[in-house]
Every structure is written in structure tokens, then in C-alpha cells.
A and B are shown apart, each in its own frame.
Chain A
Amino acid sequence: MRLEYLWRVAARDLLSTLRDRRTLASTILIPLLLIPLFTLGLPLLLGSFIGGQAQERQRVGVVGTLPAPLRAALTRDEKAPDGTVIRTGVQLVPVSDPRAAVGSGEVEAALRAPLPLPTRAGDGTGTLEVYAKLGNLRTQTGAFAKVQTTVEAYNRELAVQRLSGLGLGAQTLTPVTLSPIDASPEQERRSGQLAFLIPLLMLNFILTGAMATALDATAGEKERGTLESLLVSPVRRSEVVAGKLLATTVTALTTALFSVAGFLLAGALSRAVLRQSNATPELTQAFGGQLTLTLAGALALLGTVVSAALLISAVLIALSIYARSYKEAQTYVTPLSLAIVFPAVLLQFSDFLTLGSGLYALPLFGSMMAILDVVRGNLTAGHALSAIGANLLGALLLGLLALRSFHREEVIFRN
């Protein structure tokens, strides 16, 4: 194989890719914009919705009467020492049919006590029915949450008053206090509960980036009649395949690079935004993974991503050379995204699964696990090498299959 010919084939395809604005947008702009938007913007938006619920005075219906201290607790605003309202109380309104009132939207929740509620701990028990649309996130985080925490506080207050009469302090209620301490490494904490999205998005962007070049360089060339002119030049078929594989991989890696940049940008932005907003770090981290990398992690990520890009490029070239047209090739390769999405979604249950070392040797899936481990800061060298090796072996086999196809008359002239 002559490297200068390989590069000339690749340069031709890369120049063509570089001139395509749609490909440039999907390679550079989309990862850079979409990842911060998805991992940071969405949680912040959700956080502002939930935070807004605390400041909103919801209407809560009441059937009959409630004990005066409980009514007062429900309607009272919770304030910080400086007087700022942290959480407003609810507005109590009389209703006759609680279910109908909630159903019609007249109130967000409604309270009904079938029997009078006790006003002193030890004077029996009572039940307070809460009618609300329990599957509704707005209700859950708004009216229902306020009623629930107020009733819990009311119960505690009654118990504390009774204990006080007996000469016992509030601590009597909690002889043992639970103090949870997150023992996960800093990097894993930062990665968030949706860290599995990072391999999913990264590999999907690699696929998207590779697809445009691979399809254009194979089925597209066949459709335009430019492949034949390339094949009658002195360049060898092996150089044609390797050149196209190189061009596709370079495009895929460019997308991967910008997707990594997107995650790093999201991390930096979230730190900046958190300093200025009232969204809690826990909330942001829970909803979007933030990539932070050590040098070793960055190298492992690079190796994994390069090998995955090679493998995906080889799959795309091997498949799309069979197609008669760009459109037909799109039909062949579109299901490939499912091969990334399904295993990647499975990774969200990785905490429940025992992932054996052998799984790292599965092409592509091993990469997803390795990327997730990099994000969480617990990738081992053995697992990284297994994932990279499996991808490279897969890429080699598929590259040979593509070469065989480029030698077959019925494939090259299938137009």
C-alpha cells in the first residue's frame, strides 16, 4: 500500500466533505450546541420550574374544617433569617367535592378529614385524605409536596409539645440520626446519574459524522459516476478503501472531538451558572453528566473513541458500497443507530448488572462501557485495551470485507 496514494484518495473525500455545510453543521455545531443544551440547559430549566413551584401560592381545597394550627402551618410562608420568602404557603379554599375540584383544575389539591383530626399527640389518630393528580410532576413538586411536608412538620410539632410536657427534648424522637456520606469518587459524583448518556451521545455523534462522508464516498460516488473514474486511475483498490476509511474516520473523529468539547463546555458552563443561580449542584448533576477528565482518562478516552470511529467507519463503508445510490445507502445504515442506542440505554442499569470483563471485548459495546468507566473514573487498563482491541479487530475484518466488495464487479457496477 502506498501511503501517498491513500492520502490523495482521502484528501479528495475530505475536501468534498469540508465543502458540505450540512455535514459541517452536524460535525461541529450540533455536538457543541446540543450537548450543553441537553446536559445543562434542560436540568436548569427543570430546576427553575421546580424552584418556581416553591414561590407559587397554590390553591388547595378543604372539605369541612381543619385544626387551626394545621391551617396556619399550611398557609404560612417559610422565610430565611433575612426575611426572604423561601417557600410560600398555600391558599386554602372551601370545596364540597374534592375529586371534582381537582379534576376541574379549580384547585391543585384538596384535603378531607373524614373524622376530626387530633390536636394533641396521644389523643388518638386521624386520617387526612389528599386528593391530587399524583402522576403530575407539577402537583408532586408543588401543592402535594407542600401539604406533605407541612403535615409531617405538624405531627412532629405535636409530638415535641407532648414530649416537652413529659420533660423530654425533641431529640427523643430521633435517638439515631442517619448521616449519609457519598463515598463515590469525585469524578463519579460529578458524572451524574445520567452519565450513561455520554457514551450514547458520543457514539451517536461519531456515527452521524462518519455517515455523511462514508455514504458520499461510496454510494454517492457510484451514483455520480465518479467512482469509476477513480478506479481507472493507477490507484489500487486497497488504497481506495483505506483512503475512504481514513477520510470517514477523520470526519467521525472530528465529530467525536467536538462532542468531547461539548461535554467539557457543559461542565464549565454548569460550574459558572451554578454560582449565579439557585439551582443545586445535585439537581444539575442528577440530570446531566458532566465530563471531567484526568490525563490518563483523556488518553483512554482518545484510544477508545479513535478505535470506535474506525470500526463505525468500516461498517459504514462495507455496507454502503453495496448501495446503488446515496438514498439506498441511507436505508442500509440508518438501523445502525439502534445498534448504539439500545446497548447504551442498557448501560443506565449498569449499577444493577454485573458487567464481566468479557463484555469489554464486544466491539462497540465494550467502548460504551469503557467511556462510561472513563467518565466515572474507574476504567482499568485491561478493560481499555480489551475495548480498543475488539474495535480494531472488528474494523480490520470489516475493512477486508469492504476491500473484497470493491473487487467485486457486481458490487462496483451495481447501478
Chain B
Amino acid sequence: MNQSSRASTFIMVLYLIFLLLPIYWLVNMSLKTNFEINTTVSLWPRDLTFEHYIKIFTDASWYTGYINSLTYVVLNTIISISLALPAAYAFSRYTFVGDKHLFFWLLSNRMAPPAVFALPFFNLYSAIGLFDTPWAVALAHCLFNVPLAVWILEGFMSGVPREIDETAAIDGYSFPRFFVKIFMPLIASGIGVAAFFCFMFSWVELLLARTLTATNAKPIAVTMTRTVSAAGMDWGLLAAAGVLTIIPGALVIWFVRNYIAKGFALGRV
């Protein structure tokens, strides 16, 4: 037993080092001057500098990218969760005409390649005048986030015994009141996990976000790709912008860390 637990620790430590090494290198680079990056390969910054971070926080063309990204991510999470809650309840509690086909069709949209949708979305959102607004990206990301939220919430809701619904009905609760007052607190962790996943997949997506925005709603990911190619290769600035995109994710993980394993199994363990 002792020997196998030592082997486990060894594997785990190796794996965590493998995960952290590239991130360490990114942080390391963001704290170096471009001169040092281009001339030497050093394991820590010899000439520590925060100039790249200062530039990002003072230059509007950089920090508005973060604001734009967070705007559509939050909009998308709110839309996805509020639409998915009643639908997931219906799937977990009732049998109805076409339910299995509908569930599969929803699921298949989670799997559809965004590259297929890039051009038609561009046409669609230009036609209805939402192009280059956070709403366009928030609605476009619903394509995969709404099905995902339904899938996760359905898993968590199926874990709540149906007797609770019946007892509440006997006690005279109307359906909306029962849903908000009794049912939602019971699946609070499920809602948290679903919100986490919507946040995650909307935050990391680039292709649709890039296609649907031009200047006003440009997300940070696009600012990174465009500015960098235009200004030669400003590695230090690129690295600092990268580090700052990791932070929101890390904060969100911290809040859901206790549910993360169950959440990744989409409430189906």
C-alpha cells in the first residue's frame, strides 16, 4: 500500500509540473523586457519589469478588450441558464412527444463545429443589425451553451426525488413559487456548475467571437491576435495579456472547486 501511494504521488507531481511549466514560462516572459526575451533564455527575469502590465491597464485599446469579453460571457451565462432551467426540469420530470429526439438534437448542437457556423452567423447577425455588439456573440454562443446547460441541469435535477414536487403541490405551492423557493435551492450546486461551464466555454471560444465583431465589441482574444501581428512580435506584451486572461478562469475555479469533479461528469455519476 505504501509503495503504491508513493508511486501515485510521483505520477501526480510529474503531471502537475507538466501542467504548470508552460504557464510558468508565460508568466516569466511577461515580466521580462523585450530586449531580454530576444537576446537570452533565462529561467527568471534578470531585469524585472511591469511595463507590459502597465501598458495593458492604461491603454484603452487593450483593457476594453477584457470588458467586451466579460460582457458577452456574462450575458451568455445569464441567457443560457435562465432558458435551460425550465427545459431541464421538463426533461427530468416528464415524458412528452418527441422528447428523446429533441434531447439528441440539442446535444448534437453542442458538438457542431463552430467553423460551419462562422459564415452564416456573420450573414444572420449583420442582417438583424446586431453585428459588432456583445449581444451577437452572446446569442451565437447559446448554440453550444444552452444545450450544455440543459444537459448538466437535467443530470442534477434527476437526482432530486420526485416526491418533493408532489409534497409541495399538496402543500399548496403554485408551480413558479415551488420552482423558485424550493426546487432551485435544492439544485443550487448544479446551477453553479452549469453557470461555470457556460462561462468557461464562452470565455475560451475565439472563432465565432472574432467573426462577429469588428471594432466596438472586439474581445481580448482578438485584440491579442491583431495587435501582435501588426506591431511585429511584442512577446512581452502578448505574454502579459495571456496571463491576464488566465486570472478570471482561476477565480471561477476557486468558487466551484468542491463541485468541479461532479460538474465535469455533467451531474451524471
Do A and B associate with each other? no
| Residues of chain B at the chain A interface (Cβ within 8 Å) | none
